[in-house]
Structure 1
Amino acid sequence: MATLTINPIVRSITPPPSPPDDTPSPMALALATSAPLPIPNKILPTPTYTITTKVPASPVTPPASPPTEKATPLLPISTILHPPSAHHQICSEPPIFSIDAATAAAAIHQAACHPLPAADRVFPWLHGLHSENTVQLTFFSARRKIHQRTPSCWRGVTVVKAGRALDTSKLRGAVHPAEILPSSSGCHGFLEVDPKDGFCVRNFHIQTAKLATVSDIIVYGDDRTSKETVKSIAKRIAQAQVKYRSLFMNHPDMEYPQYNTFVVSSSFSEFERNHPELVAFDSKGLSSGSIPDFPYLERQEMCTMSRATEIAHNVWLGSTTDKVDADPEHPFNICIEACDGAPFPTAPMLRLISRRMKDHTSVQDIEFPASGSVATSNWAKFDIDFIIDMCRWIYFSANPIVIKDADGDTAMEDRDPGKRVLIHCMDGYTETSLLALAYLMYAEGLTVHDAWIQLHREKGRNFFAYQTDLQILLHAQNEILKSSPARRDEDSVFTTKIGIPKWVSKLDGSLPSRILPHMYLGNLGHANNPEMLRELGIKRILSVGEFTSWSKEDEESWPTTHIMKIENIQDNGVDPLTCRLDQCLAFINEGKEAGEATLVHCRVGVSRSATICIAEVMKRLKLSVPRAYCYVRARRLNVIIQPHLRFMYELLKWEEVQKTETNLGIKRELEWPSIAREIALMNRPYSR
C-alpha cells in the first residue's frame, strides 16, 4: 500500500487549479473589501508534524478522539423569516419576499441569539468535501456518511449588499454577491468553493459561500443603489437556492429545509436611524465602532501591548503611535526610529543634533538600522563603534553632566533634567530590539542575557529579537560593557571571557509570548528550555498533544504537579478540544492564584495551545471570540496564530456555555461565517 503524508497547513498541499470561467477570480474577496495591510514581520508558520494515511486500500480511521460535546437542537421550526408566508411575495419564479428594515434587524438579532449546532453536526462538512478531492475525503471517510452531507441542522441568515462595495453602508456581517455567486450572471447556482485538491482544515475563506446554501438570505442596497439592482441580485440568489434544493430531490433519505430570499424595501438610512447597532460602516464610510473590526482590533491591541514604557532614565521604548500621541505636557525631545535601510548615525551627525537641541525645542528625529536588517557577516569593528557611540549619545542626552560651582553646589537654574528619548518602530517590538538591548547593556552595565531578561521581566516589554541580534550583541558585549558608565571601575571584569548561559544558545531569537501576566504561549522548543522558563518566572507547563524531552535532572527539579499533559489532541480538524478547556483553565488558574506563570504550548504554538489561550482570555477578560482572538493574535508577536476551523467553531460554542452559566443569554457579536471571513481576509496578505 502507498503511504501518503499530509501536512495540514494553512494552504493546500498542491497549488489550486485555475478557476473555471464561471467563477470569480481568487481575489473575489477583494471585491467586498480591500485587504487589510499586513503587519511587518508577521509570519504564517507551517506545522511540522505529519498525519499518515493509507490509500487507496481501506478507509482510514482518524486518531482517537476524546468524548464529543452534547448535541444541540436542530434548526428552529419557526423564525421571523420562516415560514415566509407572513411576508409580501414580490416574485414567484423564483420566489422572493419583501421585508422592511425592522424585520431584517429582528431576523439578524434572532439568529445571533439562537444556539449553533454542535460541532459534530457540521464537521467535517465545513472543512470542504469536494467529490473529487480524494485526499480530503479519504481522511474523513471513517466518519459517518451523514457528516459529509449538507447539514439539515443549520438555519443561518446571510446578509448580502447589492451594488457598491462594502466600505460604505455596511450592515453587520454583510457580504458582496461575488462571495456567494459566480461572476457570470448566466451561471445559475451558488459558488462552488470546496477545494478539489490537497488537504486543509483551515479553509476559512469558503465558509461564507458554504453557509449561504443553508441560510435565509437578506438582500439590501445603499441609498444610491436602485431597486432594480437589488432585485436582480435577489433573483440570482433565489435561483441558486432553487437549483441547490433540486440536488436533493433524488435523495429522499437526505433532508434539506426550505430557505428563502428576502429584499429589504427600506432605505439604508432607516437602519442608521433606527438600528445603529447593526451598522458597521455608515453611508459616509465611517466605522460605527460597535461591530468588531478584526484588523482594527489587532492593531489596537498591538498599540496597547507596546505602549511606551521607560526602560532607563528618560529613555522610553514604544511604537510610532506613541510619537504621534505623545502627551503635550511631557513631549519627547528625541525620537529614534528603527527601520530597514536606515544608516548608522555618525558622530558628526549626533553632535550637530545636540547643538540644534540647544537652540530649538522641536522634536529631533533620527533613524537607526532595524533589528535583523544587517547580516552578522557584514559587521565589522566600526559597526560596533557606531552602536556604542549611539548608546553613549542617548545616555548623555538623557543624563546630562551636572556642572557644579567651586563649592561643589549646583544652582537650581543650572539643573538640566535631560532629554526625553523615544526609541520606536511601527509595531513597537520588532525593529527596536537591537538598539533597546544594546542601550540597556550600556546604561545598566548588563550582559546580553541579563539585559534580555530585564527588558522582558522588569521592564515589562514584549519584544522579538532576531538570531542575528543575539550574535551581534554577544560579539560586541565586551566592548559595550567596557564603555558602560555603570562599570567604569570594573575593568578587571573583562580579563576573562563572560560566560553565556546554556538557555541562551537554545533560543531561536524569540521568547514565548506573554499573553497575560500569568500565561505565556509558546512552542515545543520553548518548553524544552527549562532554564529559560525559570529565568522568565514560568513555573508551570501545560503541554497540549506534544510533550517535553527533558534531561532526568530537569525532570527531577520540576514538581510533577506543575506539569499537565493533554493527550490525544492532534491538529487534524477532527479531535475536539472543548471538553478539555475547563481542565486546562483550572490548571492555569491554579498557577495564577499561586503567583506562578504557566507556559501553554503545543508543537508550533499557533493552533491547539492558541485555542486554550483564547479561551482563558475570553473567560478572564470577559471578551467575545472575535475580541479574544485579536487580543491573542496581537500578543503572539511575529507569529500568526492559526487555530483551525473546528477549534474556532468550538470556541463559539463554548462562549454559549459560558454565557448560559452566567445567565447572560446567547448573543454573538459576529456570526460564524463573518468570523471565518474576517480571519481569511486578515491572513490573505501573508499567504504564500
Structure 2
Amino acid sequence: MIMFNQSSPPSSLAHANAAIPSHLHPVALRSTAKASSPLTTAASQLAEAQLRVCVPPTRRSPSITSAASSPSPSSPSSSASSSRSPGSSDAHQSIYGLNIDHSAYRPLSALHPTAPHAESIRLITCAEYADIYERYLRSAAAVDEKTVFPYLHCPDRPGTAQASYFSQSKPAARHPPPAYRGLTVLTADPVLGPRPSRTRSRSLGSASTASASTSSSSAPPLSATSSPATSVDGPEPRASLLTSALAPEQVLERDPASGALLGRFVRKPMPSSTVNLRLFGHQPGQYAGLSDVVVYAEAGLSAPVLELAALVVEAQAEFKKRAAPKLEYHVLVVCEEFEVFEREHGALVAVDGWGFKRSKVDFFERERLEMESLTRASEIEENVWFGNTADAMRDQEQAGHGRFSVMIEAHDSARIPSESELESVVCNLLARPRKAPSSYRPPVHLEVPSTGPAAGQSSMDLLVRSLQEFCGWVSRIAGSGHKILVHCHDGYTETSLFGLAYLIHRRRCPLSAAYLHLQLHANRSFFLYPSDLTLLRYFERRCSYADPSLPAITRSARWLEDGFEGHFPSRILPFLYLGNLAHASNLGMLRALGITAVVSMGESVGGALAGAGIAHLDVRAVADDGLDRISAHLPSTLAFIERARVNGGKVLVHCRVGVSRSATVVIAYVMAHCNVDLAAAYLLVRSRRLNILIQPNLVFMWALRRWEAQLAFINLGPTLEAVMHGGQCNCGVCGDEADGRLVRRRVGGGAWSWSALANEISLLNQRYLC
C-alpha cells in the first residue's frame, strides 16, 4: 500500500531551491517565456512569493485520520458527508467521494488579485496533494455504482441511443450530474522529454547529496529499477509524471483550426444509433466535470500551470452552465517543484524528471509480460517443449549454452518440410555430439502449420498425412536425445494444433485424452478453434488405423462431442477457471477437469449440476446491462470460491460469454486472494483468458475499483479476511518473484484515479478493437 508521508514538510524550502542550478530555477525558466503571455508577469511575481506561501505555518490540511471512516462494503450510503467548505454553494448538500475543506488552501488572489480567475484557483503543496490523493483513494471504498451511474455512461447526449436507453428506467429523466466529487490530475508540462541537464547532485534517495540533505533521511527508499542509473527501459517520452496524471488534451477540447486548448471539457462524439456500455475513452472528459482538478508542472508555480488552470476554471464554468451540477468544483495548483515529489513522496511518482519509470504501469507491456510468464517454455513430452517466440529468441542469445537443437515455429502460412528435407536435418543432427559445449551449433529452424486448410477434402487429407509424418520425425529426433522447442508468438494459439496432434501420435491416445494431458499433466494453456477441432478428429481416425500392427486408438470421451467449442474454459489460477455458459453446461468436461463447484453470474444452467454432485452458486440478479450492480454479490461469491479452494476443489465462474460479469468476479478474487492491485489483477486475467478479450462494463470496473479501496482501507470481516489471508498458496501468482521483469504491485500499492484507469484500458483496447 502507498505509504504517504504525513510528517510536516520542511520548515523552509530554501535548501531545496538553493540547490537548483540557475538556468533551471523556476524564476529563470519563467523569464524565458514569451513576453506576449498574459500571465508571464503574474507568474514571475508569484515565483518570488512561492517559498513563503506554500507552507503557511498555521494552516495545515485536516488530519488524514479523519479522511474516511470505515464504511461497510454493502452500505453505499455511508460515503455521504455533510461537512462542506464554508461559503460554498453545496454547504448543506450531502455528497459522495472526495471530502476536503477547500478553505484550508490559500487562493491565488491572495498573492495576485488581477491574475485570471485568481479567486477560483487555490495553491497546495506537494504534501497537501499527497493528503488529498489518499483521501480520494479512500473515498472510493464507499461510493456505490448507482451514485455515479448512469451519468458516467454519457446519457447526457440528446438524440443518441445512449440517452434513450438510459431514460427507459426513468422516463423523461435528464440524468443530471450526481452529487459526487472526484479528482482529476493534469500535467502542464509539454512533451519535451526528460530534463537534459540536471546533474547527479540532485539524485534521489540514497544518492542525494547535501543539497537535499534536509529531507533525504525521511525520503521513502526507491526501487533499484527506478533510478536513472539502473533503469533498463530508457527514458519515457514525457517526464515528471505523477500517478494518474493526464495530459491536458485528454480532458480539454482543442480548437480544430488552431490546435489551441479551449476552456471546455472534452465531449467525444458518440454514435447516434448504438448503445455502448464500455465508453472508457470518454471517461476523462465526462469525469472531469465531477472533479476537483489538480494542475502541476516540473517547475512548480509557472505561467504554463496558471494558463492551464485558468482554462480548467473556464471549463468548469461552461459545465456548470450546461449541466447545472449540484456541487461547486475547484482548481488546485501545486506550487512546489516536481523534485519535492521525487524526494519526499516517491510513491506518487510514475515517471521521474529524468524520464525513467518509477511506478508507471504500461498496460500493453505488462499484458505482454503476463503472457510470456504464462506460456514460458515447458516440456509436454520427453525432449519436446512448447513455448513462446520470446523463449526461442532468449535461447539463441545464449551462444554455446542453448538448450534446443531444433526450433519449430507454428504459423498459419507455414509449410511442413518434405521427407528429403527432414532426412537432411536428421543427418546434420545425428552428426552432432549432444553433450559437448565446445562443439555448439545453432539450432535448426523448421515450421509447421497452425491451422487447417480453408476448404477442400483433398487439402485436408494432404495436411493430415504430412502431420503424421512430421510427428513421427519429431518423435524420432526427440528419442535420439535432442531437445525440440515448438513455439509461436503468444505461446498457445498457433502451437495448439500441432501439440494435440503430436500427443495423439506419440501416445496413441484419443483426442480427449490429448486435451487433458496437455492441460492437466503438461500444465499448458492452449486454444483451439472449432474448425481445427474437426481436423484433429480426422487426424485421430487416421492415426488409429495407420499401422495395422498396433491396436486402434480408443474413441474420444463424450464430452468432446456435447457442444464442445474446441477450447477449455480459461485457467486463471490452478483452481479457478473462467468460461462461458456452454462450458458450465458440459458436465462431462467439468468432471474431466476436476471442477467441483460452479458460479453462475446471471446465466443459470438449471438443476443438472446438483445431480452431478457439483456445488453451485446461482447469482441471478445481475445483468450486463450497464445498470445492474455487482458489488453487492462479491462477498458471498468470493467466499464460495474460497470454500471450494480450501476443500481442495476447483471452481468455474461463468456468465453467458465469459468476458464481463464472470470476469469481474474472477478479477475481484485474484485481487483479494493474491494481494495484487486492480491493474495487476485485470491484466493477469485478461492475458490468461487467452484469445477471448475480457470486457467488464463501466459499472463493473467501478465496482472493482471500489473493491480495491475496500481491500486496502477497510476491515471486511472474518469471511473476506479468510479469502485475503488464504493467498499463501502454490497458485503461481501469490508471492511469485520468479520473473524479475514482472513485479505485481500489492493491493493499495498503486491505485489510480478513475479517469486515468479508464484511459489506460481504452488505449489498450484500441490495439484490439476497431
TM-score by length of 2: 0.70
Query: How far did 1:355 drift?
Result: 3.4
Match of 1:129 in 2: 155
Deviations 1:297-325 (A, max 9, x none): 22222122112221001111111222234
Q: How far apart are 1:556 and its partner, in Å? A: 6.9
Distance 1:87 1:555, change over 3 A: closer
SS at match of 1:633: helix
Kept in 2: contact 1:581–1:612 (CA 8 A): yes
1:677 aligns with 2:759: yes
Determine which of 626, 635, 646 is the counterpart of 1:573.
626
The answer on 1:375 being equivalent to 2:454 is yes
Pairing partner for 1:342 from 414, 421, 430: 414
User: Aligned pair in 2 of structure 1 residues 112, 432: CA closer, same or farther (>3 Å)?
Assistant: same
Q: 1:182 aligns to what SS in structure 2?
A: strand
Q: Percent identity?
A: 30
Check the 8 A contact 1:107/1:157 in 2, yes or no: no
Partner of residue 438 from structure 1, selected from 498, 501, 513? 501
Structure 2 vs 1, CA of residues 264 and 340 (structure 1 numbering), >3 Å: closer, same or farther?
A: farther
Aligned position for 2:331: 260
Once the two structures are superposed, residues 551-575 of structure 1 have per-residue CA deviations (whole angstroms, 9 ceiling, x without a partner) of xxx567413x612211121111111
1:287 aligned residue (357, 360, 364): 357
Match of 2:543 among 472, 480, 492: 480
For 1:361 and 1:153, how far apart are their aligned partners in 2? 66
Task: Please give the residue correspondences for 1:69-468 in structure 2 after superposition, counting only pairs within 5 Å.
Answer: 69-74=76-81, 77=84, 82-83=102-103, 85-86=105-106, 88-89=108-109, 92-95=115-118, 96-115=121-140, 117-133=143-159, 135-141=161-167, 142-143=169-170, 148-164=175-191, 167-169=237-239, 170-184=241-255, 185=260, 187-193=262-268, 195=270, 197=272, 198-222=274-298, 227-247=302-322, 255-262=326-333, 264-266=335-337, 268-288=338-358, 290-326=359-395, 331-357=403-429, 358-359=431-432, 361-372=440-451, 374-375=453-454, 377=456, 379-400=459-480, 418-468=481-531
- For the 8 Å contact 1:292–1:670, the answer to whether it is kept is no
Return the alpha-carbon distance in structure 2 between the equivalents of residues 138 and 313 of structure 1: 61
- Structure 1 residues 76, 451: CA separation in 2 closer, same or farther (over 3 Å shift)? farther
CA gap 1:499/1:678 in 2 versus in 1, 3 angstroms: closer
- For the residues of structure 2 that align with 1:472 and 1:228, how far apart are their CA atoms? 67
Three-state SS of the structure 2 residue aligned to 1:148 is coil
Higher mean C-alpha deviation, range 610-619 or range 69-78:
69-78
- Cα distance, 1:130 vs structure 2: 2.1
Paired position in structure 2 for 1:558: 612
The residue aligned with 1:54 is: none
Tell me the distance in 2 between the aligned counterparts of 1:677 and 1:510.
Answer: 32
Residues of 2 paired with 1:665 and 1:627: CA distance?
9
Number of equivalenced pairs: 588
Q: In the alignment, does 2:657 pair up with 1:604?
A: yes
- Secondary structure of the residue aligned to 1:686 is coil
Report 1:6-85 matches (<5 A).
Answer: 69-74=76-81, 77=84, 82-83=102-103, 85=105
CA distance in structure 1 between the aligned counterparts of 2:404 and 2:683, rounded to whole angstroms: 30
Report how far residue 134 of structure 1 moved: 5.3
Question: Quick one: structure 1 residues 291 and 113, their matched pair in 2 at CA, closer, same or farther if it must change by over 3 Å?
Answer: farther
CA distance in 1 between counterparts of 2:308 and 2:189 reads 7
- Which residue number in structure 2 is paired with residue 17 of structure 1? none
Letter in 1 for 2:479: N
Q: Secondary structure at the match of 2:486?
A: strand
Distance 1:499 1:510 in 2: 15
Tell which deviates more after alignment, 122-131 or 601-610.
Answer: 122-131
2:180 alignment partner, SS class:
coil
Instruction: Say which SS state the counterpart of residue 423 (structure 1) adopts.
Output: strand
Per-residue CA distance 1:361-393 (angstroms, 9 max, x = gap): 233242424423632536244322321232222
Distance in 1 separating the partners of 2:387 and 2:747: 40
Structure 2: 5+ residue runs without aligned partners? 1-73, 86-98, 193-235, 433-438, 718-745
Indicate which of 491, 494, 511 corresponds to 2:550: 491
Tell me, in whole angstroms, the C-alpha distance in 1 between the residues paired with 2:468 and 2:585: 35
Shift of 1:345: 2.0
Cα-to-partner distance string for 1:69-114 (whole Å, 9 max, x where unaligned): 4441249746778237425455632234555545444443443333
C-alpha separation in 1, matches of 2:356 and 2:80: 39
Q: Given the superposition, is the C-alpha separation of residues 75 and 428 from structure 1 closer, same or farther in structure 2, using an over 3 Å criterion?
A: farther
TM-superposed deviation, 1:502: 4.8
- 1:16-53 CA distance string (max 9 Å, x none): xxxxxxxxxxxxxxxxxxxxxxxxxxxxxxxxxxxxxx
Helix, strand or coil for the counterpart of 1:379?
helix
Q: Secondary structure at the match of 2:561?
A: helix
Give SS of 1:113's match.
helix
- 3-state SS in 1 of match to 2:252: coil
Is the contact between residue 452 and residue 460 of structure 2 (CA under 8 Å) also seen in structure 1? no
8 Å CA contact 2:487, 2:495 repeated in 1 = yes
Equivalent position SS for 1:216: strand
- 2:40 corresponds in structure 1 to none
Contact 1:344-1:368 within 8 A present in 2 as well: yes
Q: Deviations over 1:522-571 (max 9, x none)?
A: 11111121112112112222111112268xxx567413x61221112111
Structure 1 distance, partners of 2:603, 2:345, is: 48
CA contact (8 A) 1:75 1:153 kept: no
Identify which of 498, 503, 506 aligns with 2:563.
506
